[in-house]
Amino acid sequence: MTDFWNDVDRHVVRYGGGFTPEIITRAAGSHVYTEDGRAILDFTSGQMSAILGHSHPEIVDTVRRQVGELDHLFSGMLSRPVVELSRRLAESLTAAQDAVERDAPGGAAAAGRLEKVLLLTTGAESNEAAVRMAKLVTGGYEIVSFARSWHGMTLAAAGATYSAGRHGYGPVAPGNFAIPVPDAYHPDFTDADGNLDWRRQLDHAFALFDAQSVGAPAACLVEPILSSGGVIEPPPGYLAALQRKCRERGMLLILDEAQTGLCRTGTWYAFERDGVVPDIITLSKTLGAGLPLAAVVTTAEIEQAAYERGFLFYTTHVSDPLPAAVGNTVLDILERDGLDQRAAKLGDQLRAGLLELRDRHAVVGDVRGRGLLQGLELVAGAETPHGADRLGAEVTRRCLELGLHMNVVQLPGMGGTFRIAPPLTSSDEEIARGVEILDEAITGAVAGR
């Protein structure tokens, strides 16, 4: 083991935060296993991606079969898995749009049908393609995103990312603008009762954008629930109002559903709750259930305009058949097993457990989120700057010792916020056990301060 960590020190580039001090040798279901045989309950679904747990037998079978038949092609060639997945994603989004139009008439009227699909690899790549398409179609280049956003590490995606990674790399592409996060627990604009006045906040944000814009708006790229930004769920009505701001300015609305799409929040897509259908949606993490697969989905009208203007996104792994076959299996399992309903049920159980922790521990300030994407924010008092960061790190360490992998937001001033995203295939007992370990870890961390 000493040789392993010596090799890490000598040869592995450090790419953000520290490495978990365990050597992982295998994973199955809701657990990962260390080299010394210890089972660790995974409450992050890998990198917030393995919605079907690890090494799901049907995914394993698909990979084995597909890699022996058709794995990778010239980027201009198409295969049945790619076209099938494109059709099925379009059908799932049509069903979601139908629900929006039924429950919120007019909410989707101007968006058109999300039916044209581009299959890629990562979330950053899908956001890169979406922004590139929006710029080409609108003729503008100005992109608006939340001030605590995370959209990826490639050029356009990084330019629209404000939660981390901006210092020291020189200028981003011109035309990127940040708007404040509608954070109800830490409101900046408040009403007479001290609650978040998100309408006034949003009006102020776009007044500032209008003052700075050179008249070249292209798109607004946002997550329907900010994940790395602290699991912040915009209030009901916010996204619809944001969409109106976009339409008034000729901007496209791009929703990044890397972590919220495909059943995690209790519906197939998070936008269903808000009565809003975006002009472009990007999918990644959950689509491949842990394998590298991403998608951009837009309307026929936008795709046609992009095509006529010469849209180019010719990458090495565009439309690869192997990950597309995995995506089809993911959809099979989600549909057959009703995992949207399962995520809603488990999410209720998880949230109830977290609320009990809030009632029992003074250091638990807030619980928020939807379905199986929940956030828990620790507080340490104004007299201890970054105290919640240190407390979050200690709770994370103790959780790992007790057999639970948790993910704390690793940003200064936000390190006391946990992102909790177990697999959709978790059992009731695993959810209960995870909350129990978290309870024990918080108790121990507070006692040790």
| Residues known to be catalytic | 150, 223, 256, 259, 285, 419
The bridge status of strand 252-256 relative to strand 217-222 is: parallel
User: What is the C-alpha radius of gyration for the chain, rounded to an integer number of angstroms?
Assistant: 22
Distance CA 437, CA 398 (A): 9
What torsion, rounded to 10 degrees, do the Cα atoms 20, 25, 26, 31 define? -40
HEC string for the chain? CHHHHHHHHHHCCCCCCCCCCCCEEEEEECEEEECCCCEEEECCHHHHCCCCCECCHHHHHHHHHHHCCCCCCCCCCCCHHHHHHHHHHHHHHHHHHHHHHHHCCCCCCCCCCEEEEEEECCHHHHHHHHHHHHHHHHCCCEEEEECCCCCCCCHHHHHCCCCCCCCCCCCCCCCEEEECCCCCCCCCCECCCCCECHHHHHHHHHHHHHHHCCCCEEEEEECCCECCCCCECCCCCHHHHHHHHHHHCCCEEEEECCCCCCCCCCCCCHHHHHCCCCCEEEECHHHHCCCCCEEEEEEHHHHHHHHHCCCCCCCCCCCCHHHHHHHHHHHHHHHHCCHHHHHHHHHHHHHHHHHHHHHHCCCEEEEEEECCEEEEEECCCCCCCCHHHHHHHHHHHHHHHHCEECEECCCCCCCCEEEECCCCCCCHHHHHHHHHHHHHHHHHHHHCC
